[in-house]
Amino acid sequence: MPPQLKAEVNVMPRVVQGDLESLPPEARNFIESNAKLCQPESIHICDGSEEENKKILDIMVEQGMIKKLSKYENCWLALTDPRDVARIESKTVIITQEQRDTTPIPKTGTSQLGHWMSEEDFEKAFNIRFPGCMEGRTMYVIPFSMGPIGSPLSKIGIELTDSPYVVASMRIMTRMGTDVLKGLNDGEFVKCLHSVGCPLPLKEPLINNWPCNPELTLIAHLPDRREIISFGSGYGGNSLLGKKCFALRIASRIAKEEGWLAEHMLILGITNPEGEKKYFAAAFPSACGKTNLAMMNPSLPGWKIECVGDDIAWMKFDEQGNLRAINPENGFFGVAPGTSVKTNPNAIKTIFKNTIFTNVAETSDGGVYWEGIDEPLPPGITLTSWKNKDWTPDNGEPCAHPNSRFCTPARQCPIVDPAWESPEGVPIEGIIFGGRRPAGVPLVYEAFNWQHGVFIGAAMRSEATAAAEHKGKIIMHDPFAMRPFFGYNFGKYLAHWLSMAHRPAAKLPKIFHVNWFRKDSEGKFLWPGYGENSRVLEWMFNRIEGKASAKPTAIGYIPADTALNLKGLEDVNLTELFDISKEFWEKEIEEIKQYFEVQVNADLPYEIEREMLALEMRIKQL
């Protein structure tokens, strides 16, 4: 931890569960020094048991933080303070000696590829926030494993938190408790410190019984020290430090040093009618149907899709040259709005037991509700919104927060892959990049080679709502769908991806780009999406097998005229879906070039520059 102010009362709080003495020295020092600093009333070392979980849930019910949803088995609803509802990029920082270790130095303006904070500024920020911040509360010690316990691809963390909500959620999202401590010995672990920043007695009343400190929220990563320090927010992405903080920001930096990849990708297995199976990893920005794809019911007869993970992939080449991937998580932390029997039937079958819902609406019969659930309310059933007020459709605002969540165990998913917890990981043969592009970008294309594929990932763009105006759609750059999650300089990250091609014996996966969201001149989607996306996966599967035919274009290989299986699909205009317009791509190239020039600047690898020029030449010849 950073140099710490001497707490006035330098007394060790009592340990109410677990045995500090039995822990390895480094773990014990980590806990003791932070307990002296944060001054909790007591320390509880989590064992991850069912009995402990019941007690934690009871504590939250008693504090009014959650309520039981009587309609389902062991499901709970938390409503947060409306000021604490999402990840806050502007308050999420990485601390390194030099800014350039964290982000490229942009040619003009500020970096969009991460937020750097100097060590001096962080030390000041830390000392304003942490001394005495847990007074009157329990400090929970959460030993957790990212990935199956004991897997060579897994990593261990210990999170100290004063939030019981974090304990209950981390038990779903990670492997947590005594078994992790057994495997720790004197091995290294990522040190995670989290406080809601509301010591007792409270200075002002809580909203929704949800402790947080929005004025002082800060989520800091210290990659050189393998530390994550988060203050002021109880919301998942800011407080469940195993998630984006560890699994992407810190892990991507560890991966760079150790020669593997930590990516914002789903992992799915797909089996053809002959029983042959392949695994894909896929990166999509938010609002592109990532979880829907990971849990898809394929419309093609005889094909089967199974889910290894819906959000994060850790991938490493094995000695045979196969790229092996694990899902480091143990649960799904999914966006509720838009999840329905139509869009994601398998998610719906997963989430109605042992789940914590946050900021969704509640039905008067003890159930949950949100926009896009596609279930009419039964007669006489009323709704209470996420703001804890009576709600009707005339309210003019959504009943569930747009970023409301379900936190649910992955093992409950009806199509969870049999190898989802395999310690050696599953072999990845295809990597998919995608975005929401209403115009110009074909349904699917394949990279010419690995370098071209890395360029495609780097040039990813997707439609997003312009947050500032809340109107009009803009196309945002989101390279590798990692823009908010890079743990180090993006230029160096690209070089790391490119370096995979030089690994001895590496069997490099094929790289594809998809766009389910292209529209015609009347604004209607050209492709039906959802389960029909299995037709595109079939083409990719067969491309890897060397069976499907493709034709080269200026941007990559696209399916040859009859290669995409459209059997049983009416009215699909392939000409429009695969049209590559010179005018569109000239503009696209300008945008990408400008972005690389300004944002990546001197750190852009020459291979990416070369791919850019080659694309420009091919488009000119259209």
User: Residue 432: how many CA atoms within 13 Å on its side-chain side?
Assistant: 27
Angle at 160 between CA 155 and CA 164, to 5 degrees: 110
φ and ψ at residue 415, rounded to 5 degrees:
-115, 30
Token pair belonging to 369: 């509700």
Residue 198 among the catalytic residues: no
φ and ψ at residue 161, rounded to 5 degrees:
-145, 155
Judge whether 342 and 409 are in contact, CB under 8 Å.
Answer: no
Q: What is the CA radius of gyration of the chain?
A: 24
φ and ψ at residue 390, rounded to 5 degrees:
-60, 140
Q: Which of 38, 192, 288, 399 is catalytic?
A: 288
Judge whether 174 and 329 are in contact, CB under 8 Å.
Answer: yes
Pairing of strands 323-326, 473-477: unpaired
C-alpha distances in Å from residue 281, one per residue of 90, 109, 397: 29, 34, 36
Token pair belonging to 100: 């350039």
Alpha helix locations (H) across 396-500? 450-458, 490-499
**Cβ neighbours of residue 452 closer than 8 Å, sequence gap 6 or more:** 511, 556, 611
Number of neighbouring beta carbons within 10 Å of residue 118: 14
Judge whether 333 and 350 are in contact, CB under 8 Å.
Answer: no
Number of neighbouring beta carbons within 10 Å of residue 560: 12
**Cβ neighbours of residue 47 closer than 8 Å, sequence gap 6 or more:** 17, 18, 177, 178
Q: What is the dihedral of CA 124, 128, 134, 135, to 10 degrees?
A: 140
As a 3-state breakdown, the chain gives helix, strand, coil percent values, each rounded to 5, of 30, 25, 45
Judge whether 147 and 330 are in contact, CB under 8 Å.
Answer: no
Say how far residue 571 (Cα) sits from the centre of its chain.
Answer: 35
Positive/negative CA dihedral, 226, 232, 236, 237 = negative
**Cβ neighbours of residue 59 closer than 8 Å, sequence gap 6 or more:** 164
Q: Which residues are catalytic?
A: 288
